[in-house]
């Protein structure tokens, strides 16, 4: 129904009045179309897709932040329709034709050529999987989500097993439609991380497995646990909001082109370079809001850093989930969990929360870096985090290839936790039922988190070659050189290069575990004096 509103009065009957009052921009007359280059015509077409996706985006943001409960049913219908319209507009023959014409005219190596390549990839990913399979997956995902919620609540894997088997079967079919050379996993992972393969993941986990398992073991057996109980308590939401908004603005998140709201699960979203928003949450652990905000601000600064001339085109935004995660983790962990950061910010935090005055920057730094093997991935510390991911990757691979049955997942899961983290889940709710992803059919997605972790250190290592005094700068609250470097090297590149090309260009080498292991080991061996 959509009544339109206007200064103090409602305009009812949206359709009718929209004809009169809205700044309607009609289809361009034929003559104007004729004078457009194919490239401009393509941009116009893609701008329609972008507007439809932006509409879904803001509806989803609103749903997580301000929507009254009564709005849920219509919201689902609206988002469903807008997604379909975006899809139809994107995959239409006209879009394909425009892409082909524009490609013929584009200068190789130009931004135009890059945009065409990215748009073609988006289109291919949308069309390789037949609509009927997408439909089937969507239907199964609705059922699977409800079943998963119940199964997790009751810690009853059997109640989810049949549906999960069907979901893996559908995802297997998807992978066949998407196509791959070496491993079925490659097809799935590529959707999230262009060009990344199962072999890349295996290498990554091979490289980090032994050193990290050893590091965790040393920390646990060392026996010197860090006391962080002061980080738990009741904290004024207003003051947490004030502090988190201050730190994200200070590190470089532009609040004139963004804002922070509250949501059950922190996220970053946006629909133009001028409007990239984050959310956070306020819990009894004060680090929840602080590091949640910094993490999302990392994502957001990446999105805000796209060139404004690429705004509302497929070239804007982050290039892949792994590279995106490298930016959130860099700001959250490497900057935000550094001692220098707290040398600068702790007195501000203590001014708002005098109960933290017992901490020195050093003790606070130690507290927020406490390592403790635990069952739940989303609560994991920096050291153990990748072990959680490794478990999921190994299981996904084995189930996809048929080497493992879905029915055997719980046992395999628990055994791997015992081996890698030295702990065994007491029930599947804190084991293989904890993540929402599989119920959605997001299989092949988890490794991008670990890639983000590795890349954050690899990029930081490169940055320190140009800016050797990062500690000094952070300790003085001077983040502009760091933000500026990242913006120049990564943010401003948008999606122009593939993730692998970008990483090579920025760091001079492909993704590797070297800098990550060096950085992590140095930090935690020092912190735990081992």
Show which residues are catalytic. 296
User: From the list 92, 96, 111, 122, which residue makes contact with its own copies (rule: CB under 8 A)?
Assistant: 122
Q: Which of residues 445-474 bind its own copies (CB under 8 A)?
A: 449
Q: Which of residues 136-165 bind its own copies (CB under 8 A)?
A: 138, 141-142
Nearest alpha carbon to residue 451 among 524, 502, 521, 404: 502
Helix (H) or strand (E) holding 10: strand 9-11
| 124's tokens | 């291919």
DSSP β-ladder status, 268-272 and 9-11: unpaired
The residue (of 2 and 355) whose beta carbon lies closer to its own copies is: 2
Spell out, one character per residue from 180 to 199, where the chain touches its own copies: x when CB under 8 A holds, - when not: -----------xx-------
Q: Which of residues 75-114 bind its own copies (CB under 8 A)?
A: 75-88, 90
User: From the list 306, 326, 333, 507, which residue makes contact with its own copies (rule: CB under 8 A)?
Assistant: 306
By CB under 8 A, residue 167 contacts its own copies: no
Give the angle 300-302-304 at the CA atoms, nearest 5°.
Answer: 65
Nearest alpha carbon to residue 449 among 463, 435, 462: 435
User: From the list 92, 97, 113, 134, which residue makes contact with its own copies (rule: CB under 8 A)?
Assistant: 134
For residue 2, give Cα distances in angstroms to 15, 37, 394, 427. 8, 36, 48, 48
By CB under 8 A, residue 66 contacts its own copies: yes
Total of chain residues touching its own copies, rule CB under 8 A: 129
268-272: strand order across its sheet: 260-262, 275-280, 268-272
Q: Which of residues 21-40 bind its own copies (CB under 8 A)?
A: 21-27
Task: Tell me the β-bridge partners of 269.
Answer: 277
The residue (of 344 and 393) whose beta carbon lies closer to its own copies is: 393
How many other CB atoms sit within 10 Å of the CB of residue 126? 16
Rg of the Cα atoms in the chain: 24
The window from 31-39, 131-139, 367-375, 473-481 that contacts its own copies (CB under 8 A) reads: 131-139
By CB under 8 A, residue 521 contacts its own copies: no
Q: Which of residues 316-345 bind its own copies (CB under 8 A)?
A: 316-321, 324-325, 328
User: From the list 33, 36, 37, 47, which residue makes contact with its own copies (rule: CB under 8 A)?
Assistant: 47
Residue 91 CB partners (closer than 8 Å, separation 6+): 123, 126, 127
The residue (of 453 and 470) whose beta carbon lies closer to its own copies is: 453
The residue (of 301 and 367) whose beta carbon lies closer to its own copies is: 301
The residue (of 118 and 216) whose beta carbon lies closer to its own copies is: 118
Helix (H) or strand (E) holding 6: strand 4-6
Q: Which of residues 212-241 bind its own copies (CB under 8 A)?
A: none
Distance CA 200, CA 393 (A): 12
User: From the list 35, 73, 109, 181, which residue makes contact with its own copies (rule: CB under 8 A)?
Assistant: 73
Helices (H), 354-408: 361-367, 385-401
Distance CA 277, CA 61 (A): 9
By CB under 8 A, residue 442 contacts its own copies: yes
By CB under 8 A, residue 401 contacts its own copies: no
User: From the list 41, 42, 43, 55, which residue makes contact with its own copies (rule: CB under 8 A)?
Assistant: 55
* Minimal distance, residue 98 CB to its own copies, in Å: 15
Helix (H) or strand (E) holding 122: helix 111-127
Task: Tell me the β-bridge partners of 275.
Answer: 272
Q: Which of residues 485-514 bind its own copies (CB under 8 A)?
A: 495
Q: Which of residues 242-301 bind its own copies (CB under 8 A)?
A: 254-259, 261, 265-275, 277, 292, 295-296, 299-300
The residue (of 190 and 394) whose beta carbon lies closer to its own copies is: 190
Distance CA 483, CA 266 (A): 22
The residue (of 26 and 224) whose beta carbon lies closer to its own copies is: 26
The residue (of 77 and 214) whose beta carbon lies closer to its own copies is: 77
User: From the list 94, 135, 146, 242, which residue makes contact with its own copies (rule: CB under 8 A)?
Assistant: 135
Interhelix angle 385-401/184-192, rounded to 10 degrees, is: 130
Nearest alpha carbon to residue 83 among 20, 26, 138, 164: 138
* Minimal distance, residue 383 CB to its own copies, in Å: 19
Task: Tell me the β-bridge partners of 278.
Answer: 260, 268
User: From the list 3, 195, 468, 510, which residue makes contact with its own copies (rule: CB under 8 A)?
Assistant: 3
User: From the list 30, 31, 34, 68, which residue makes contact with its own copies (rule: CB under 8 A)?
Assistant: 68
The whole-angstrom distance between residue 267's C-alpha and the CA centroid of its chain comes to: 8
Nearest alpha carbon to residue 520 among 384, 423, 372: 384
State phi, psi for 423 to the nearest 5 degrees: -135, 155
User: From the list 42, 43, 61, 160, which residue makes contact with its own copies (rule: CB under 8 A)?
Assistant: 61
The residue (of 49 and 219) whose beta carbon lies closer to its own copies is: 49
User: From the list 56, 439, 493, 498, which residue makes contact with its own copies (rule: CB under 8 A)?
Assistant: 56
């Amino acid at each position: 129904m959509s009544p339109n509103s206007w200064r103090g009065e409602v305009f009812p009957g949206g359709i009718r009045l929209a004809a009169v009052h809205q700044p309607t921009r009609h289809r361009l007359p034929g003559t104007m179309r004729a004078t457009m280059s194919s490239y401009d015509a393509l941009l116009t077409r893609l701008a329609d897709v972008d507007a439809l996706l932006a509409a879904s985006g803001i509806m989803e943001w609103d749903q997580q932040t301000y929507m009254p409960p009564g709005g849920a049913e219509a919201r689902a219908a609206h988002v469903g329709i807008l997604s379909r319209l975006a899809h139809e507009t994107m995959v239409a023959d006209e879009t394909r034709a425009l892409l082909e014409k524009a490609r013929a005219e584009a200068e190789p190596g130009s931004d135009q050529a890059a945009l065409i390549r990215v748009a073609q990839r988006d289109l291919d990913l949308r069309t390789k999987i037949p609509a009927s399979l997408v439909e089937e997956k969507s239907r199964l995902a609705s059922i699977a989500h409800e079943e998963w919620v119940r199964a997790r609540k009751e810690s009853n894997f059997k109640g989810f097993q049949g549906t999960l088997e069907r979901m893996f079967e559908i995802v297997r079919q998807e992978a066949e439609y998407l196509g791959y050379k070496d491993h079925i996993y490659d097809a799935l992972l590529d959707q999230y991380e262009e060009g990344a393969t199962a072999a890349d993941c295996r290498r990554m986990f091979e490289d980090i497995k032994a050193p990290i398992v050893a590091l965790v073991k040393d920390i646990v057996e060392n026996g010197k646990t860090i006391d962080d109980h002061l980080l738990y308590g009741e904290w004024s939401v207003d003051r947490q909001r004030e502090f988190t908004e201050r730190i994200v603005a200070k590190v470089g998140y532009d609040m004139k082109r963004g804002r922070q709201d509250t949501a059950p699960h922190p996220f970053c979203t946006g629909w133009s370079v001028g409007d990239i928003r984050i959310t956070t949450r306020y819990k009894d652990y004060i680090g929840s809001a602080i590091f949640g905000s910094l993490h999302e601000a990392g994502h957001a600064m990446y999105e805000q850093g796209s060139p404004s001339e690429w705004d509302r085109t497929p070239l804007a935004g982050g290039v892949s989930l792994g590279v995106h995660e490298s930016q959130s983790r860099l700001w959250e962990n490497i900057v935000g969990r550094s001692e220098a950061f707290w040398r600068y910010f702790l007195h501000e935090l203590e001014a708002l929360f005098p109960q933290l005055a017992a901490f020195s920057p050093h003790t606070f730094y130690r507290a927020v870096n406490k390592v403790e093997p635990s069952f739940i991935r989303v609560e994991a510390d920096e050291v153990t985090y990748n072990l959680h991911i490794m478990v999921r990757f190994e299981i996904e691979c084995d189930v996809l290839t048929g080497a493992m049955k879905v029915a055997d997942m719980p046992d395999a899961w628990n055994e791997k936790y015992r081996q890698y983290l030295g702990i065994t889940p007491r029930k599947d709710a804190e084991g293989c039922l904890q993540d929402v992803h599989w119920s959605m059919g997001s299989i092949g997605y988890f490794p991008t988190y670990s890639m983000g972790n590795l890349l954050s250190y690899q990029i930081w290592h490169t940055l320190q070659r140009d800016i050797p005094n990062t500690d000094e700068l952070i300790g003085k609250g001077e983040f502009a050189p760091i933000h500026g470097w990242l913006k120049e090297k990564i943010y401003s590149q948008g999606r122009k290069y593939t993730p692998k090309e970008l990483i090579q260009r920025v760091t001079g080498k492909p993704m590797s575990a070297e800098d990550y292991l060096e950085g992590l080991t140095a930090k935690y061996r020092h912190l735990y004096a081992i």
